[in-house]
Amino acid sequence: MSRRRRAWWAALLLAVPVACVAQVLDFSADERQRILQHGPWPLPPQADASNRVQARPEAVALGRALFFDTGLSRSGAMACATCHQPARAFSDGQPTARGDRNTPGLLDAGQHRWFGWGGEHDSLWAASLAPLLAPHEIGATPATLLARLQATPALLRRYTALFGAPRADETLAVHLAKALAAYQATLVSPRTPFDDFRDALARGDTAAAARYPLAAQRGLRLFIGEGRCAVCHAGPLFSNGEFADIGVPFFTREGVDAGRWAGIAAVRSSRSNRLGPWSDAGPDDARAVGTRHVLREPRHFGEFRVPGLRQLQHTAPYMHNGSLASIEAVVQHYSALNEERLHADGERILRPLRLDDRAAADLAAFLRSLSAR
Ligand code: HEC
Ligand code: HEC
């Protein structure tokens, strides 16, 4: 046998056992319990009483057309989809877009409770109304929106069927935002290798569970255990829907991004919040209670929304300011965490993890398994 051949056989013999030991780690009952909490997936759609057209197929169709329509914008060149690109899980690949903030993906947006990195909005339609009118985004006005509808028979027909004849006032923009929300509420992220593993564990199917790479299993163990990631990145969405400080600097070119501190002031004073005249739910809306009672405390300064982690692979760069370019950089951030940076009240949950190379690679492998291709 030539030396080359021998080397080839040796490599094969080494590879075979590795391939055969596909297995499932000895997760404890408690670990299994924690893993199961991240599913099942997908979640049932969430109704939104503040938007009476949210579940209407005609509103979804109108919203989809509007979302991709550059003709709504002042420049004629920008649509929602310019920044929220379907191929990037509805993000844009840029560190920051509007001002100093990173464009979040929109998959599973129908499940959120607060919108924007600082929770500036309390509904999907209010979070859609803001960019529709913001001068540096779509920059529409009631008059330009009416002109666009009148120039586009397909849009006008759909609008009229849902809301009646359009008028060039604030209601027009609100109606279009509600149609945009109806469309976005249909954007659900696909099942992932993690979901297959989780469901296999749930039904005790070890053979199926063993298809999930060991590195991802070890990373998962870290995520739900020692890493304490799941304290904030909880449940099927991998977010508890709240706000936290993980020591990402909040200084910007112009000053500071106060995050949730400013977000609470914004959502409470917004005319388009759940307590305002445009909500279809009225005062009994259970979710409006949250808006009425949210209180601003010093700890909110520099807190940002805990992002969900599904489809993470497609939404780089990461964090509210897009400051971390890759999943590896995020893992490094948590590994080397600078506790001095966590604000005075402190996030008592986080400690620098000081991961060795293998553990860091495992955690990254797990985070990757939360995305489908
Ligand atoms: C110039 C780029 C840009 C355009 C155009 C744009 N967005 Fe955004 N979008 C962003 C950024 C950046 C944020 C984060 C804003 C923040 O946190 O303050 C965001 C946030 C959102 C959110 C909140 C998501 C969440 O999970 O919190 C929704 C919903 C949204 N945009 C919908 C829309 C719709 C609908 C349109 C079109 C009417 C639109 N966007 C146009 C950049 C853009
Ligand atoms: C105290 C709550 C908390 C804990 C614990 C926590 N995170 Fe986070 N995570 C956040 C917040 C808040 C952000 C957004 C911070 C920002 O943008 O400034 C974030 C951002 C991220 C992001 C970027 C997502 C994106 O779309 O930009 C990833 C990935 C991530 N965390 C993974 C982890 C991992 C892995 C762990 C465990 C080692 C962990 N997190 C522990 C709250 C937490």
3-state secondary structure of 284: coil
Pocket probe for ligand 1: among 92, 100, 106, 121, the residue whose CB has the most ligand atoms within 8 Å is 106
Whether residue 39 has pLDDT greater than 70: yes
CATH superfamily of the domain spanning 23-42+191-250+309-368: Cytochrome c-like domain (1.10.760.10)
- Find out whether the beta carbon of 250 lies less than 6 Å from any atom of ligand 2: no
The best mutation among 108, 223, 226, 233 to test binding of ligand 2, ranked by most ligand atoms within 8 Å of the C-beta, falls on 233
The Cα–Cα gap between 317 and 256 comes to: 20
DSSP 344: T
Question: How far, in Å, CA of 236 to CA of 218, rounded?
Answer: 19
Does the beta carbon of 232 lie inside 6 Å of ligand 2? yes
Could you say which ligand is closest to the alpha carbon of residue 244? 2
Q: Each residue of 277-315: pLDDT tens digit? A: 999 997 678 899 899 999 999 999 999 999 999 999 999
> From the CA of 144, how far away is ligand 1's center (Å)?
20
Question: In the prediction, which pLDDT does 6 show?
Answer: 59
**307 alpha carbon – ligand 2 mean position (Å):** 7
In sequence order, what are the beta bridge partners of 304? Answer: 244
Per-residue model confidence as pLDDT tens digits over 119-139: 999 999 999 999 999 999 999
- Nearest listed ligand to the Cα of residue 67: 1
Average pLDDT value over all residues in the chain? 93
Question: For position 284, what pLDDT does the model report?
Answer: 77
Q: Which residue has better confidence, 17 or 188?
A: 188
Report which protein residue has its CA nearest ligand 1's atom 28: 127
Task: Answer yes or no: same fold for 23-42+191-250+309-368 and 45-188+260-300.
Answer: yes
**15 pLDDT more than 90:** no
pLDDT digits (tens, 9 = 90+) for 331-345: 999 999 988 777 655
Centroid of ligand 1 to alpha carbon of 133 (angstroms): 12
Using one digit for the tens of pLDDT, what is the confidence trace for 182-231? 999 999 999 999 999 999 999 999 999 999 999 999 999 999 999 999 99
Confidence at 17, pLDDT banded by 50, 70, 90: very low
Predicted TM-score (pTM) of this structure: 0.94
- For a pLDDT cut of 90, what percent of the chain falls above it? 84
Pick the CATH number of 45-188+260-300 from 3.90.1300.10, 1.10.760.10, 3.40.1190.10, 1.10.357.10: 1.10.760.10
Ligand nearest to the CA of 337: 2
Q: Tell me the residue type at 345.
A: D
What angle (nearest 5°) sits at the alpha carbon of residue 57, between those of residues 52 and 60? 80
Q: What percent of the chain has pLDDT over 70?
A: 92
In the numeric block, the tokens 């990461």 are attached to: 318
Q: What is the Å distance from ligand 1's center to 127 Cα? A: 7
Residue minimizing CA distance to atom 41 of ligand 2: 229
CA 286–ligand 2 middle distance (angstroms): 28
User: Residues 96-117: what's their mean pLDDT?
Assistant: 94
265 sits in the region (left: phi over 0; alpha: psi -120 to 50; else beta) called: alpha
87 C-beta neighbours (distance < 10 Å), count:
9
The confidence score (pLDDT) of residue 346 equals 52
User: What are the residue ranges spanned by the domains of the chain?
Assistant: 23-42+191-250+309-368, 45-188+260-300
What is the spatial distance between Cα 59 and Cα 181, in angstroms, rounded to a whole number? 9
